[in-house]
Amino acid sequence: MAQSGIDRRRINGPEESFPPLFDDDDDDIELKTRRGRAPGDIRPISRSISQANGSAYIETEKTKIACAVYGPRQSKTTTYSEKGRLNVEVKFTPFSCTRRRAPIRDAEDRSLAVSIHQAIVSSIRLELFPKSTIDVFITIIENDGIEGCIASGSLAASAALADAGIEMLGLVASCSAAIIGDDIQLDPSEAEARASSGTVILACMPALDSITSVWQSGQMSADIALKCMEQCHERCIDIHSIVAQSLLEHRGTN
């Protein structure tokens, strides 16, 4: 008998259901009429999750990400570790994507978590927390493309860590770019990323002028890839000053 996807821990609906098919789907999505996204659009709101040690909430046009940091707290494993461990977990809400996602964690969640982990791990002074774990939980409430999620997620995680008072070498800012034709578009939406020939996601610490992670996918020449990285880097510097400013303002009012 085939495995029917009955999840005994949740209320179940019918065995199979399909997202609605639209008859007017063939209309080309207008990529040209694109609202220019200024770096000032990304402004994390701290202290949104009172139960956590630190939190940040980032909202851009169509991406909403909430991040909470718990820690440093005791590691579950009994093996001694000289450096602290960073544990990043990403969760999509079922209504965050165009097609409903089952609440089961799958490979996409984990690959996102790995990307964000790589972006922020080199900025945290883990050697100060032996035997401890820092848990970073990210919930994606609305999703407009994986590149945007990784970029905004890394930013939210870094801001939440700063909000929690965990010692870091610098704030991590992250930005994504897509190659559409001959143009480099920063901060692509899902439709733009799908129409592009390649994407680049860059995470860096502008305070130390160092790069923590680069993800490149798709087809592009080395020159274009480097140009993308430069443009992302410039944008990251702007984002960094905005995030630092909002964190300082928030601390000032406390």
Partner 1 sequence: MSSSSTANPSAADETLRGQIFQRLHPRVYLERFIAEKIRPDGRAFDEWRNVSVNVGSISTADGSALVRMGDTTIVCGVKAEIAEPELDRPDQGFLVPNIDLPAICSPKFKPGPPTEEAQVLSDKLNEALVASGALSLDSLCIHPGKAVWTLYVDCTCINYDGNAFDAALLAMLGALRNTTLPKATYDEERGRTTCSRKTRSPLRLTRNFASMSFGVLDTSHVLSDPTAFEEPLIDVALTVIVDDRGELISTTESGGAISEETLLRCISRAKERALQLQKLL
Q: Which residues bind partner 1 (CB under 8 A)?
A: 9-14, 16-24, 48-52, 62, 64, 66-68, 70, 89, 91, 93-98, 100, 103, 135, 137-139, 141-143
Name the region of 161 (left: φ>0; alpha: ψ -120 to 50; beta: rest): alpha
Q: Of the two residues 10 and 34, which places its CB atom closer to partner 1 in the complex?
A: 10
**In whole angstroms, how close is the CB of 27 to partner 1 at the nearest point?**
9
Q: Of the two residues 145 and 170, which places its CB atom closer to partner 1 in the complex?
A: 145
Q: Of the two residues 15 and 223, which places its CB atom closer to partner 1 in the complex?
A: 15
Q: Of the two residues 100 and 197, which places its CB atom closer to partner 1 in the complex?
A: 100
Q: Of the two residues 113 and 119, which places its CB atom closer to partner 1 in the complex?
A: 113
**In whole angstroms, how close is the CB of 72 to partner 1 at the nearest point?**
13
Q: Which residues contact 48 (CB under 8 A, 6 or more apart)?
A: 55, 56, 57, 66
Between CA 254 and CA 188 the distance in angstroms is 36
Between CA 85 and CA 75 the distance in angstroms is 8
**In whole angstroms, how close is the CB of 230 to partner 1 at the nearest point?**
32
**In whole angstroms, how close is the CB of 91 to partner 1 at the nearest point?**
6
Between CA 203 and CA 231 the distance in angstroms is 12
How do beta strands 45-46 and 54-59 pair? antiparallel
**In whole angstroms, how close is the CB of 106 to partner 1 at the nearest point?**
14
Q: Which residues contact 210 (CB under 8 A, 6 or more apart)?
A: 170, 204
